[in-house]
């Protein structure tokens, strides 16, 4: 399958001297949902901004649907819709006028039926005559998506689409992304949340300090990184781990009041039931328990650690 986005040897050094991207190579297939994961400052927005022609690359060749984003900027940009992190809309305009105007900016002929469809898809139809400034934050974000889709792009970039949005909007956004994909739109989203990538994306790229350190199918990544931590709040603190528990990867926390077990949640045998039985046999009781999926930070720490070990 041909790539719809092709990035070769991309680097970016800002005027300040800060190197935000280091030799990034990436191919994204048509119709894919691709999640770019990384902590604050990793370079996600820089990468998106370069592909969308807002920031100039220092080196590298980038093609959008076969068009060089620098030499053939207009053709490339028409293929792309961008939903930026920041809300930037004209407060005094109505929803309808804003979205129609955005379409016109790309030289597309008016198509009220298409604009109506987008507004209906985004549950904005009954707000079409409302001024943007009267809308809630969530509604404004929907308007940003409508604007980005107004010129019928084949590629949609969503920069942290669900940061700070409520659960309802997050679900709507996810279902919209899936519907767009069914229509053949390629979607690239950035996120801090591994759960979001897991839920949405076909493939995940992890970016850390400007380097794309890993690109994997989401299912494979989750398999590799599906670590969970089980925390038991003990009824009586333990001074030390009993030797009978040596076969589990356990740690005592909070002066012996909590027992932590890190396990692979994808494994056929997680070791949790046998641990529970052994604890019961040993008469070690607990008041409460909780589990926690590895956070992205844990994963990064793990990856960086592995890198160092290999080096
Ligand atoms: N115009 C600029 N001039 C100098 N440095 C910049 C500029 N824009 C971004 N940077 C720096 O480049 C690095 C990458 O920033 P970028 O916004 O791409 O990260 P990000 O992964 O999108 O982070 P976030 O999740 O916080 O948006 C950061 O250290 C940032 O401070």
pLDDT at residue 311 greater than cutoff 70: no
Ligand 1 pocket mutation pick from 20, 39, 56, 213 by most atoms within 8 angstroms of CB: 20
Amino acid 306: pLDDT: 59
209 contacts 43 by C-beta, under 8 angstroms: yes
Mean pLDDT of the chain: 88
- Phi, psi at residue 272, to the nearest 5°? -70, -50
Q: Which atom of ligand 1 is nearest to the CA of 16?
A: 4
Tell me the pLDDT tens digit for each residue of 254-281.
999 999 998 887 778 889 999 999 999 9
258 contacts 233 by C-beta, under 8 angstroms: yes
> Is the entire prediction scored with pTM above 0.80?
no
Judge if 233 and 204 occupy the same domain: no
Specify if 153 maps to a domain.
yes
Query: Domain containing 252 — which CATH number?
Result: 3.30.70
Output the furthest CA–CA distance in the chain (Å, rounded): 75
141 contacts 171 by C-beta, under 8 angstroms: no
Specify if 299 maps to a domain.
no
- Phi, psi at residue 195, to the nearest 5°? -65, -40
User: d(Cα 121, Cα 115) in Å, to the nearest integer?
Assistant: 10
Specify if 200 maps to a domain.
yes
**CB under 6 Å to ligand 1: residues?**
14, 16, 18, 20, 38, 40-46
Specify if 306 maps to a domain.
no
Please tell me the distance between residue 19's alpha carbon and the centre of ligand 1 in angstroms.
10
Please tell me the distance between residue 230's alpha carbon and the centre of ligand 1 in angstroms.
35
Specify if 311 maps to a domain.
no
| DSSP designation for 244 | G
Q: How many helices (DSSP H) and strands (DSSP E) are in the chain?
A: 10, 14
pLDDT at residue 198 greater than cutoff 90: no
Among 163, 190, 223, residue at a domain's last position: 223
Mean of pLDDT values over 293-300: 62
**16-54: b (≥16 Cβ within 10 Å) or e:** eeeebbeebebbbeebbbbbbbbeeebbbbbbbbbbbbe
Nearest CA to ligand 1 atom 16: 43
Judge if 75 and 205 occupy the same domain: yes
Tell me the pLDDT tens digit for each residue of 161-195.
877 777 778 888 888 888 889 989 999 999 877 77
Smallest CA-to-CA distance from 180 within 31, 6, 2 is with 31
Specify if 305 maps to a domain.
no
Judge if 111 and 154 occupy the same domain: yes
Among 197, 223, 249, residue at a domain's last position: 223
Judge if 43 and 118 occupy the same domain: yes
Q: Which helix (H) or strand (E) holds 264?
A: strand 258-264
Sequential DSSP letters for 204-226: EEEEETTEEEEEEEHHHHHHHH-
Q: Which helix (H) or strand (E) holds 258?
A: strand 258-264
Judge if 43 and 191 occupy the same domain: yes
Full domain range(s) for residue 149: 3-223
Query: Domain containing 90 — which CATH number?
Result: 3.40.50.300
Tell me the pLDDT band of 120, cut-offs 50, 70 and 90: very high
Q: How many domains does the chain have?
A: 2
Amino acid 193: pLDDT: 77
Nearest CA to ligand 1 atom 12: 20
User: d(Cα 137, Cα 164) in Å, to the nearest integer?
Assistant: 9
- Phi, psi at residue 222, to the nearest 5°? -65, -35
161 contacts 187 by C-beta, under 8 angstroms: no
Q: Which atom of ligand 1 is nearest to the CA of 38?
A: 21
Percent of the chain's residues with pLDDT above 90: 62
In the chain, % helix, strand, coil (3-state, to 5) comes to 35, 30, 35
What torsion, rounded to 10 degrees, do the Cα atoms 57, 197, 176, 145 define?
Answer: -30
Tell me the pLDDT band of 11, cut-offs 50, 70 and 90: very high
Judge if 289 and 178 occupy the same domain: no
Among 223, 244, 260, residue at a domain's last position: 223
Q: Helices in 210-288 by DSSP H: which ranges?
A: 218-225, 272-281
Judge if 214 and 255 occupy the same domain: no
* pLDDT higher at 143 or 90: 143
Nearest CA to ligand 1 atom 4: 14
Mean of pLDDT values over 84-92: 78
* pLDDT higher at 68 or 160: 68
């Amino acid at each position: 399958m041909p790539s719809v986005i092709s990035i070769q040897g991309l680097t970016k050094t800002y005027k300040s001297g800060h190197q935000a991207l280091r030799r990034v190579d990436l191919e994204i297939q048509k119709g894919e949902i691709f999640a770019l994961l990384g902590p604050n400052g990793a370079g996600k927005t820089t990468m998106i901004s370069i592909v969308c022609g807002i920031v100039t690359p220092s080196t590298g060749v980038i093609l959008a649907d076969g068009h060089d984003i620098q030499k053939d900027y207009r053709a490339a940009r028409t293929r792309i819709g961008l939903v930026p992190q920041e809300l930037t809309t004209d407060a005094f305009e109505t929803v309808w006028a804003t979205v129609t105007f955005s379409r016109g900016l790309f030289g597309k002929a008016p198509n009220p039926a298409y604009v109506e469809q987008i507004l209906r898809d985004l549950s904005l139809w009954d707000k079409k005559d409302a001024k943007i400034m009267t809308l809630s934050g969530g509604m404004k974000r929907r308007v940003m998506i409508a604007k980005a889709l107004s010129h019928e792009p084949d590629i949609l970039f969503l920069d942290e689409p669900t940061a700070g949005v409520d659960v309802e909007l997050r679900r709507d956004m996810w279902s919209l992304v899936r519907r767009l994909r069914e229509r053949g739109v390629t979607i690239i989203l950035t996120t801090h949340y591994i759960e979001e990538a897991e839920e949405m994306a076909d493939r995940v790229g992890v970016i850390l300090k400007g380097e794309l350190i890993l690109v994997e199918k989401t299912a494979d990544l989750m398999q590799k990184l599906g670590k969970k931590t089980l925390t038991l709040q003990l009824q009586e603190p333990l001074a030390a781990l009993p030797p009978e528990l040596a076969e589990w990867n356990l740690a005592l926390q909070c002066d012996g009041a909590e027992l932590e077990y890190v396990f692979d949640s994808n494994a056929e045998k997680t070791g949790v039931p046998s641990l529970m039985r052994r604890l019961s046999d040993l008469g070690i009781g607990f008041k409460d328990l909780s589990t926690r999926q590895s956070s992205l930070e844990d994963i990064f720490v793990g990856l960086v650690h592995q890198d160092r070990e290999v080096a």
